[in-house]
A = this chain, B = another copy of it.
């Protein structure tokens, strides 16, 4: 029996989020656990790096599970994929240290948020992006993003995973990139509050549209007495890109 680590990608559209829920609700954890059972897994609950919401995608979700497997990890990837539906796939599997936990061992997480800039609906692109119009001003978006970098109390933009938990997070990267008819926001932090990225994105887009002053947006940081009261960015623009771990020492 070993502790395995797998990287998982999924299209979140048809899922009620990552976390297993009541019977009848289709969740990513639920279909992953079904596939694990097919290869002999007998655990009660897999461990995961992050609990993405309904409709949120992932390219780099990380899970761990204890399993007796006689072949190499690459064959385990293939066996799991053979048992997974087309909207979930394992991209990589390896044996992890016994004490590896995808959430508690993580050093940082990286999310992307995609915005489609078009006045009219686009069925071929709105599955993985949030469409807004008119275009926000890129300079204002960039200015708002820069202010997020560093250590801040983000309580105004989300809630802690545990009631009353710590709400300070360390953001190492936050930037907007513009391409044709498209904006991508990338953010990396040691961890995130619940719904934090989608609230920050909505807030920055309001700043970019000139509807909220940059100063008012910044005043929400490190301010336990205020809340972002505006809308929350749509789930389908968000993607958990990667979870980073410290290099494991050779065992």
Contacts and interface: CB of A to CB of B under 8 A. Distances in A.
A77 B122 CA distance: 13
A138 to B, nearest CB: 24
A92 to B, nearest CB: 8
Interface in A95-121: 120-121
Interface string A77-105: 10001001011111100000000000000
Number of chain copies forming the complex: 2
A121 B124 CA distance: 20
A9 interface: yes
Contacts of A122: 9, 89, 91
Contacts of A123: 9-11, 86-89
A86 B124 contact: no
A5 interface: no
Interface bracket on A: 20 to 34
A126 interface: yes
B11 A127 contact: yes
A59 interface: yes
A126 B59 CA distance: 13
A57 interface: yes
B11 A120 contact: no
Given A10-B124, A86-B126, A91-B122, 6 more contacts: A11-B123, A77-B120, A84-B121, A86-B123, A89-B121, A89-B122
